[in-house]
Amino acid sequence: MYDLIKTLTETWGPSGYEHHVRERIMEEVADLCDEMTVDGLGNLICKVGSGGKRIMMAAHMDEIGLMANYTEPKTGYLRFTGIGGIYQNSLFGNRVMFEDGTIGVIGGEDVIGKGRTSIPGLDGFFIDTEDETGQQRVSEGQPCSMWRETTRRGGRVIGKAMDDRIGCVVAIEAMRKLNRQAPNECVFVFTVQEEVGVRGARAAAYGVDPDIGIALDVTAT
């Protein structure tokens, strides 16, 4: 199971750009379900079994991300806005990855030198993507996700996008356990755009019209 966790958590997929995650999941579940479809919004819907009650189990594929929206003319640093809810106190020094594999590092303005003791808003941060030639490799409008390699330490797994790739892993493993045999109609939905308003789950619930709905997501511990 760890290999699947590592694969999914390291896959790039901020809200609205979940296609790489969806492709990985489709590879995993192709032989585990009776029917597999992708709806107009991008949700992956997998059905196992028939008869009885229709049970929908949903896990979201997307992760919180950032989007470059302005390039500083002197430094080339990228200013950005959030895709989903951002905790500013976790941004300093973090690495980000753009879809083409470009890695950037998040820096921030010198708030201490200015006499401030509080964490600045997003407008106080920037992304540096300068390469070995001194060129910035990203332009405005490009999204990125946080980046770190997923590792295992004792009984813990450390990485990005646990919210909610762990839920996706749980859904995949449940499908594996069912082995395409279920007394009810089990509909596993891997949803999009949860971090920006639960958009995918809303659309999927309307389309699936389940008798029972179960959300597979994480919580703070």
The beta strand positions in the chain, using DSSP E, are 35-38, 44-48, 54-60, 65-71, 78-83, 95-98, 103-108, 125-128, 143-146, 151-153, 156-158, 185-191, 212-215
Residue 86 to residues 70, 81, 129, 151, Cα–Cα distance (Å): 18, 9, 20, 23
CA distance 98 to 76: 16
Strand partners, 216: none
Task: Give dist(CA 130, CA 78) in Å, integer.
Answer: 10
For CA atoms 68, 72, 75, 76, the dihedral sign is positive
Which of helix, strand or coil describes residue 36? strand
Q: Annotated catalytic, 10?
A: no
3-state secondary structure of 54: strand
Angstrom distance (rounded) from CA 27 to CA 8: 12
Identify the DSSP state of 80. E
Q: Active-site residue among 10, 63, 185, 194?
A: 194
Active centre residues (catalytic): 194
